[in-house]
Amino acid sequence: MVAFDVGRGPNCTIALGRRRVEVQSGPTFAAWTPAHWVPPSTPLTCDLSFISLRTVMADRVGLVAVGASMVLLAKPQFEAGRAEVDRGSGVIRDPVVGERALVEISRSVLGHGAAIMEGMVSPLTGTDGNVEFLLHVREGAADDYRSTFDAPAVVALVDGGAA
Protein backbone atom coordinates (compact mmCIF):
# COMPACT_ATOMS: atom_id res chain seq x y z
CA MET A 1 0.00 0.00 0.00
CA VAL A 2 1.19 3.47 -0.79
CA ALA A 3 -0.04 6.37 1.33
CA PHE A 4 0.34 9.60 -0.59
CA ASP A 5 0.28 12.58 1.74
CA VAL A 6 0.18 16.08 0.30
CA GLY A 7 -0.87 17.55 3.65
CA ARG A 8 2.10 15.96 5.43
CA GLY A 9 0.40 14.43 8.41
CA PRO A 10 -3.30 13.66 8.01
CA ASN A 11 -2.85 10.02 6.92
CA CYS A 12 -4.58 7.29 8.90
CA THR A 13 -2.31 6.34 11.81
CA ILE A 14 -3.52 2.73 11.70
CA ALA A 15 -2.31 2.36 8.11
CA LEU A 16 0.96 4.13 8.85
CA GLY A 17 1.83 1.57 11.52
CA ARG A 18 1.81 -1.30 9.01
CA ARG A 19 5.14 -2.55 7.67
CA ARG A 20 3.84 -2.80 4.09
CA VAL A 21 2.77 0.84 3.97
CA GLU A 22 5.05 3.25 2.17
CA VAL A 23 4.42 6.96 2.73
CA GLN A 24 5.30 9.34 -0.08
CA SER A 25 5.14 13.09 0.45
CA GLY A 26 6.01 15.75 -2.02
CA PRO A 27 4.38 16.61 -5.32
CA THR A 28 0.66 17.11 -5.61
CA PHE A 29 -1.35 14.05 -6.58
CA ALA A 30 -1.99 15.59 -10.00
CA ALA A 31 1.78 15.43 -10.63
CA TRP A 32 2.07 11.73 -9.76
CA THR A 33 3.47 9.43 -12.44
CA PRO A 34 3.88 5.64 -12.63
CA ALA A 35 7.42 6.19 -11.25
CA HIS A 36 5.81 7.10 -7.89
CA TRP A 37 3.70 3.98 -7.90
CA VAL A 38 3.94 0.38 -6.78
CA PRO A 39 2.98 -2.50 -9.12
CA PRO A 40 0.02 -1.42 -11.27
CA SER A 41 -2.16 -4.28 -10.02
CA THR A 42 -2.31 -2.57 -6.63
CA PRO A 43 -5.76 -1.08 -5.95
CA LEU A 44 -5.88 2.69 -5.85
CA THR A 45 -7.88 4.60 -3.26
CA CYS A 46 -8.29 8.30 -3.74
CA ASP A 47 -9.51 10.97 -1.30
CA LEU A 48 -8.71 14.34 -2.86
CA SER A 49 -9.45 17.81 -1.54
CA PHE A 50 -9.78 21.07 -3.42
CA ILE A 51 -9.49 19.41 -6.84
CA SER A 52 -11.98 17.74 -9.14
CA LEU A 53 -11.67 14.00 -9.77
CA ARG A 54 -12.31 14.84 -13.42
CA THR A 55 -9.17 16.97 -13.47
CA VAL A 56 -6.89 14.08 -12.51
CA MET A 57 -8.79 11.13 -14.01
CA ALA A 58 -6.68 10.68 -17.15
CA ASP A 59 -3.48 10.29 -15.18
CA ARG A 60 -4.97 8.23 -12.34
CA VAL A 61 -6.45 5.58 -14.65
CA GLY A 62 -2.97 5.06 -16.11
CA LEU A 63 -1.55 4.19 -12.67
CA VAL A 64 -3.41 0.88 -12.40
CA ALA A 65 -3.49 -2.23 -14.55
CA VAL A 66 -6.46 -3.13 -16.74
CA GLY A 67 -9.01 -4.82 -14.49
CA ALA A 68 -7.60 -3.24 -11.31
CA SER A 69 -9.95 -1.51 -8.91
CA MET A 70 -10.00 2.05 -7.71
CA VAL A 71 -12.11 3.38 -4.85
CA LEU A 72 -12.67 7.10 -5.30
CA LEU A 73 -14.22 9.45 -2.78
CA ALA A 74 -16.38 11.80 -4.85
CA LYS A 75 -16.86 15.19 -3.24
CA PRO A 76 -19.52 17.17 -5.14
CA GLN A 77 -18.34 20.42 -3.57
CA PHE A 78 -15.12 20.13 -5.62
CA GLU A 79 -16.95 19.15 -8.81
CA ALA A 80 -19.64 21.85 -8.77
CA GLY A 81 -19.32 25.41 -9.99
CA ARG A 82 -18.73 28.19 -7.46
CA ALA A 83 -22.30 29.46 -7.83
CA GLU A 84 -23.65 26.05 -6.75
CA VAL A 85 -21.71 25.84 -3.48
CA ASP A 86 -22.79 27.66 -0.30
CA ARG A 87 -20.39 30.61 0.02
CA GLY A 88 -20.07 30.46 3.79
CA SER A 89 -19.66 26.74 4.38
CA GLY A 90 -18.83 25.23 0.99
CA VAL A 91 -21.70 22.79 1.45
CA ILE A 92 -23.79 21.50 -1.46
CA ARG A 93 -27.45 21.79 -0.47
CA ASP A 94 -29.15 20.88 -3.75
CA PRO A 95 -29.27 17.11 -4.49
CA VAL A 96 -29.48 17.91 -8.22
CA VAL A 97 -25.97 19.38 -8.00
CA GLY A 98 -24.67 16.22 -6.31
CA GLU A 99 -26.33 14.04 -8.92
CA ARG A 100 -24.89 16.10 -11.77
CA ALA A 101 -21.42 15.87 -10.19
CA LEU A 102 -21.66 12.07 -10.11
CA VAL A 103 -22.87 11.93 -13.72
CA GLU A 104 -19.97 14.15 -14.82
CA ILE A 105 -17.46 12.02 -12.90
CA SER A 106 -18.95 8.91 -14.50
CA ARG A 107 -18.57 10.42 -17.98
CA SER A 108 -14.97 11.35 -17.24
CA VAL A 109 -14.21 7.85 -15.94
CA LEU A 110 -15.78 6.27 -19.05
CA GLY A 111 -13.93 8.69 -21.29
CA HIS A 112 -10.65 7.41 -19.87
CA GLY A 113 -11.41 3.73 -20.43
CA ALA A 114 -12.70 2.84 -16.98
CA ALA A 115 -16.20 2.55 -15.51
CA ILE A 116 -17.93 3.08 -12.19
CA MET A 117 -19.09 -0.38 -11.17
CA GLU A 118 -21.09 0.78 -8.16
CA GLY A 119 -21.43 3.67 -5.77
CA MET A 120 -22.75 4.46 -2.32
CA VAL A 121 -23.23 7.37 0.02
CA SER A 122 -20.16 7.63 2.23
CA PRO A 123 -20.97 6.83 5.86
CA LEU A 124 -18.81 9.83 6.78
CA THR A 125 -19.64 13.39 5.81
CA GLY A 126 -17.16 16.07 4.88
CA THR A 127 -15.85 18.43 7.54
CA ASP A 128 -18.71 20.89 7.13
CA GLY A 129 -21.41 18.26 6.56
CA ASN A 130 -21.07 17.72 2.82
CA VAL A 131 -22.46 14.44 1.57
CA GLU A 132 -19.76 12.49 -0.25
CA PHE A 133 -19.87 9.29 -2.30
CA LEU A 134 -17.65 6.20 -2.55
CA LEU A 135 -17.25 4.95 -6.11
CA HIS A 136 -15.84 1.55 -7.13
CA VAL A 137 -14.10 2.09 -10.47
CA ARG A 138 -12.52 -0.60 -12.63
CA GLU A 139 -9.81 0.22 -15.16
CA GLY A 140 -10.56 -1.12 -18.61
CA ALA A 141 -14.17 -1.72 -17.63
CA ALA A 142 -15.58 0.64 -20.22
CA ASP A 143 -15.22 -2.19 -22.74
CA ASP A 144 -15.06 -5.33 -20.61
CA TYR A 145 -17.72 -4.88 -17.94
CA ARG A 146 -21.24 -3.58 -17.84
CA SER A 147 -21.49 -0.69 -15.43
CA THR A 148 -24.74 -0.60 -13.51
CA PHE A 149 -23.92 2.71 -11.85
CA ASP A 150 -27.04 4.83 -11.43
CA ALA A 151 -26.18 8.32 -10.15
CA PRO A 152 -29.80 9.36 -9.41
CA ALA A 153 -30.38 6.17 -7.39
CA VAL A 154 -27.21 6.73 -5.35
CA VAL A 155 -28.12 10.36 -4.61
CA ALA A 156 -31.62 9.22 -3.62
CA LEU A 157 -30.02 7.24 -0.77
CA VAL A 158 -28.89 10.44 0.95
CA ASP A 159 -30.66 10.80 4.30
CA GLY A 160 -31.79 7.17 4.18
CA GLY A 161 -34.03 7.55 1.13
CA ALA A 162 -34.86 4.46 -0.89
CA ALA A 163 -33.53 4.10 -4.41
pLDDT per position as a tens digit, 21-46:
666 665 566 666 666 665 665 677 77
Q: What is the pTM of this model?
A: 0.76
Instruction: Report in angstroms the alpha-carbon separations of 79 from 43, 92, 110, 159.
Output: 23, 10, 16, 21
Q: Which range has the top average pLDDT, 11-15, 35-39, 89-93, 113-117?
A: 113-117
**How is residue 135 annotated by DSSP?**
E
Residue 111 has pLDDT above 80, yes or no: yes
pLDDT at 66: 78
Domain ranges of the chain: 1-37, 39-160
Residue 67 to residue 117: CA distance in whole angstroms? 12
Instruction: Report whether pLDDT(123) > 50.
Output: yes
- Closest CA relative to residue 148, chosen from 113, 117, 119, 121: 117
Q: Is the pLDDT score of 12 beyond 80?
A: no
Answer whether residue 129 shows pLDDT above 70: yes
Q: What is the pLDDT of residue 29?
A: 63
> In CATH, what is the architecture of 39-160?
3-Layer(aba) Sandwich (3.40)
